[in-house]
């Protein structure tokens, strides 16, 4: 079975500060990794994904994430937070085959951006 | 028009009633998922389907059933609704393992 752990259900940062949202995963097969964002009263939309190749991936709105196999991590960062970044963020993992082929989400991190 | 459409968007139902949530997609994707979202628990997988004949239970399938009527349609049923099934329900589709999933806008279900 695969799983995703997001450390910190709530994160607060000041506008202009670094955003770091943590995600660790477990998977018995090479994973595909995703970060999604959910704004209030909306569905989820993709921020970025890692499949193969370069381990540092860039997404929309200035976010990026780095896949570190040795640490089984896929942390999300943004150099400078903006008020519009306030939302809930979900990390997700999907294996390429077998029992890990469903898309599994973490419990989410609510990001608050303080003026 | 939305690529993934969920109906209804909001529903209040009574304990013991049967209710069906519907999802249709125009993405042409084989993979479809049903999740429920509860505060602090993230998205929990209820059922998933990789084609019309391939339906699988997720981590919280008890009390739910699904039907994949066609590639484009995946319905979730609560045979006898109970209050702890009050939640926000999302349908999602995915083309292949390494591509993004597309989500519907959600169905807010309240069981009273």
pLDDT tens for each residue of B39-85: 878 899 999 999 899 999 998 999 999 999 999 999 999 999 999 99
Q: Is A90 on the interface with B (CB under 8 A)?
A: yes
pLDDT of residue A98: 60
CB contact under 8 A, A105 and B58: no
- Per-residue H/E/C for A48-109: EEECCCCCEEECHHHCEEEEEHHHCEEEEEECCCCHHHCEEEEEEEEECCHHHCCEEECCCE
- What is the residue-averaged pLDDT of chain B? 93
Of the candidates B45, B56, B104, the beta carbon closest to that of A104 is on B45
Distance CA B86, CA B108 (A): 8
CB contact under 8 A, B103 and A43: yes
pLDDT by residue for chain A (115 residues), tens only, comes to 678 999 999 999 999 999 999 999 987 667 889 999 999 888 899 999 998 888 899 999 999 999 998 999 999 999 999 999 999 999 998 876 665 577 889 999 999 999 9
pLDDT of residue B24: 97
Which segments within B8-80 are labelled E, that is strand?
A: 10-13, 19-25, 31-38, 42-51, 54-57, 64-70, 73-78
pLDDT of residue A96: 63
């Amino acid at each position: 079975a695969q799983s995703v752990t997001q450390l910190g259900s709530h994160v607060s940062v000041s506008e202009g500060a670094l955003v770091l949202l943590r995600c660790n995963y477990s998977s018995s097969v090479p994973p595909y990794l995703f970060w999604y964002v959910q704004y209030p009263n909306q569905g989820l939309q993709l921020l970025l994904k890692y499949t193969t190749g370069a381990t540092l991936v860039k997404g929309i709105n200035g976010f990026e994430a780095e896949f570190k196999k040795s640490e089984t991590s896929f942390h999300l960062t943004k150099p400078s937070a903006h008020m519009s970044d306030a939302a809930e963020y979900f990390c997700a993992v999907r294996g390429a085959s077998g029992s890990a082929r469903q898309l599994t989400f973490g419990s989410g991190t609510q990001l608050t951006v303080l003026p | 028009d939305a690529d993934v459409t969920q109906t209804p968007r909001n529903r209040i139902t009574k304990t013991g009633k049967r209710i069906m949530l519907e999802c249709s997609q125009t993405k042409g994707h084989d993979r479809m998922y049903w999740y429920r979202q509860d505060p602090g628990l993230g998205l929990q997988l209820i059922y998933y389907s990789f084609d019309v004949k391939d339906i699988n239970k997720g981590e919280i399938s008890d009390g739910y059933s699904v039907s994949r009527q066609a590639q484009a349609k995946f319905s979730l049923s609560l045979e006898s609704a109970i209050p702890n099934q009050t939640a926000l329900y999302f349908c999602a589709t995915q083309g292949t393992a390494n591509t993004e999933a597309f989500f519907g806008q959600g169905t807010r279900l309240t069981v009273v």
